[in-house]
Chains A and B, each alone.
Chain A
């Protein structure tokens, strides 16, 4: 029985040292004032960081942008993904072709996606601006306009991650037993009724998986916003991950940045415990 420990202990110890210890350090920093650019070192300030954060308008602005970003991106990519998965499931020929190539955006480096789209969105020179001008929208400066920048980034995010929803939901559809569907059809149920009363209930786990994994991923996503706008113009795209990076690694206010990190961690743990409850009931 010793083998059990030889196999698992190295990883467990490694993870405990490398994950738990840094997190405890971060949690401790939330009670301290620590600016790396000053030589004063660490000073204990109690719960000041939490109080400051609570009254920080820029922080709540970032939180609201993150929620808006997450809601819109997850919602739309889920709906479109479900639609495409149903389409894929309803045909027989060329399935492999579509399902293979539809996956490509998901594995592309987010940095390259961000740069590529930034190029395509660029006014006058970009292909998307050209398409827009063909449609009659002249001089579109999508990323340079505070009203449009965030929605443009969200659209790019939807473009990249809808394939994730397609892949997961399509895989889930393959496991729906055919007997109830046939029986319902014989009884004269409409396609919509079949979808509502048979498909969706059977798809509970894939649906929850998509929603939760995508929400957590969007909440923490950094690369695309950073590369496309760096939070600008103004503060119009400054999401929580961008703002916390700015506080921590541009202003080097370690205490405040850790407070935000812990805040995000709690939010994400909240979401993942929901996933645990719903998916864990299966085992």
Chain B
């Protein structure tokens, strides 16, 4: 009796999880479907489930200027991740290994920069950038994204360094390693997986960001997030092309999320859960 009940429970649990998975994946699959459909198929209601896929949308998107915006996104995100991770690795190690006053306040500060209302930061930056002629420059947008990511990355990387026993550094120093040598030869290699996770997260955050980009960039440096809604023209909406563009833009984040999924949770909770 009990065994039978357990068996039914298992079937039911799997069934419910499959339903959840279908709901979670349906919109993505639908976007992918539309990206391979001709206009006729894309807008047919009731939907035509079986059709001959076409690459026309992708050809149109790649030959159009959307690839320029994707490139902008890559430049901005790449530079931001490099700057942030370099600075965060150094300070993360510093904060993990040495004593500092106000350590608790740092968590608070982290949350404020990452979770503060964008409008409170966007206003002063906008006014400042007009004066400094930094509107619509790579430097300007990379700068604000680095600020947006830095405190949070330091906090995370600090946690990853804390997981490495301090004694390892001390043993290396007894054996004649310098302070900085212990950092580079012992702690840093062990922290690499954590640093990569942090880099993946800051890549995803920056790649997906919209608000600051909308306000602080114009024609020359716009990332794809700002450009995508512009595909909704006044006369007609090119859904199929928009879906093809969206698929191209989603490839990097989904790939990275799948690579880093094991440690992702720790990152998205600011390390409050290990």
Q: Which residues of A contact B (CB under 8 A)?
A: 1, 3-4, 7-8, 10-12, 14-15, 18-19, 21-23, 25-26, 29, 36, 84, 87-88, 90-91, 94, 98-113, 115-117, 119-120, 124-125, 127, 130, 159, 163-164, 167-168, 171-172, 205-206, 209, 213, 216-217, 219-220, 222-223, 226-227, 241, 244-245, 248-249, 254, 257-258, 260-262, 264-265, 268-269, 272-273, 275-276, 279-280
Cross-chain pairs A/B with CB under 8 angstroms, 19 sampled? A14-B150, A15-B147, A15-B151, A18-B144, A19-B112, A23-B124, A25-B127, A91-B14, A105-B27, A108-B254, A109-B207, A112-B31, A159-B23, A168-B265, A216-B115, A217-B115, A241-B119, A244-B117, A272-B111
B: interface residue count bin: 35 or more
Query: Do B269 and A11 have beta carbons less than 8 Å apart?
Result: no
- Tell me, in angstroms, the Cα distance from A36 to B13 when the chains sit together: 58
Residue of A nearest to B107 (CB): A276
Tell whether A11 pairs with B154 under 8 Å between CB atoms, given A111-B229, A265-B120. yes
The answer to whether B272 and A205 have CB atoms under 8 Å apart is yes
If A84-B17, A107-B254 touch, does A100 touch B90 (CB 8 Å cutoff)?
no
- For B124, give its contact among A26, A223, A276, A280 (CB under 8 Å): A26
Which residue of chain B has the shortest Cβ distance to A86 in the bound complex?
Answer: B13
Q: Which residues of A contact B180 (CB under 8 A)?
A: 3
Q: Tell me which residues from 208 to 261 in chain B have a Cβ below 8 Å from any Cβ of chain A.
A: 208, 210-211, 215, 225, 228-229, 239, 242-243, 246, 249-250, 253-254, 256-258, 261
Is the CB of B58 closer than 8 A to any CB of chain A? no
User: Of B16, B27, B117, which contacts A268 at CB under 8 A?
Assistant: B117
In Å, the complex CA distance between A262 and B124 comes to: 12
B25 at the interface (CB under 8 A from A): yes
CB-defined contacts of B118 to chain A, threshold 8 Å: 220, 222, 241
Please pick, from A120, A209, A213, A273, the residue contacting B27 in the complex, using a CB distance under 8 A. Answer: A120
Q: Which residue of A lies closest to B226 (CB)?
A: A111
Q: Is B71 an interface residue (CB 8 A)?
A: no
A10 adjacent to B17 (CB under 8 Å): no
**B42-50, B60-68, B190-198: which lies at the A interface?**
B42-50
Q: Which 7 A-B pairs have the closest CB atoms?
A: A261-B120, A7-B94, A22-B124, A264-B117, A8-B94, A11-B91, A107-B257
Please measure, in the bound complex, the distance between the C-alpha atom of A257 and the C-alpha atom of B146, giving whole angstroms.
24
> Contact between B87 and A101 (Cβ–Cβ < 8 Å)?
no
B273 touches A268 (CB 8 A): no
User: B140 to chain A: closest CB distance in Å?
Assistant: 12
Chain A residue, CB-CB nearest to B44? A125
Whether A275 contacts B25 by the Cβ 8 Å rule is no
Interface residues of B (CB under 8 A from A): 9-10, 13-14, 16-17, 20-21, 23-25, 27-28, 30-31, 34, 43, 45-47, 87-88, 90-91, 93-95, 97-98, 100, 104, 107-109, 111-113, 115-128, 143-144, 146-147, 150-151, 154, 179-180, 183, 204, 207-208, 210-211, 215, 225, 228-229, 239, 242-243, 246, 249-250, 253-254, 256-258, 261, 264-266, 268-270, 272-273
Give chain A residues whose Cβ lies under 8 Å from the Cβ of B30: 116, 120, 127
Give chain A's interface secondary structure class.
Answer: helix
Instruction: Quote the shortest CB–CB distance from A43 to chain B (angstroms).
Output: 15
* A8–B250 CB distance below 8 A: no
Complex CA–CA separation, A236 to B185 (angstroms): 58
Q: Tell me the complex Cα distance, A100–B30, Å.
A: 19
The answer to whether B261 and A103 touch across the interface, beta carbons within 8 angstroms, is yes
Q: Tell me the smallest distance from the CB of A6 to a CB of chain B, in Å.
A: 8
A100-B261, A222-B118 known; A125 vs B229 contact (CB < 8 Å): no
| Residues of A with C-beta under 8 A to B239 | 119
B116 touches A265 (CB 8 A): yes
- B210 engages A249 (CB within 8 Å): no
- CB contacts (< 8 Å) of B16 on chain A: these are 87
Known: A4-B97, A8-B91, A14-B87. 9 other contacts (CB 8 A): A7-B93, A8-B100, A105-B24, A109-B250, A116-B27, A124-B45, A168-B269, A272-B112, A275-B272
Looking across the interface, which residue of chain A has its beta carbon closest to that of B46? A130
- Chain A residues whose CB sits within 8 angstroms of the CB of B21 once the complex forms: 98, 101-102
The answer to whether B211 and A276 touch across the interface, beta carbons within 8 angstroms, is no
Determine the chain B residues whose CB is within 8 A of the CB of A103 once the complex forms: 257, 261, 264
Residues in chain B near residue A8, CB distance under 8 A: 90-91, 94-95, 98, 100
Q: Chain A residues near B13: list those with CB within 8 A.
A: 87, 90-91
Q: Check A272/B108 contact, CB under 8 A, given A3-B180, A14-B87.
A: yes
B265 and A213 contact, CB distance less than 8 A: no
A280 to B109, CA, bound (A): 14
Q: Are A108's CB and B253's CB within 8 A?
A: yes
Contact of A19 among B23, B98, B147, B211 (CB under 8 A): B147
**By the criterion CB–CB under 8 Å, are B98 and A10 in contact?**
no
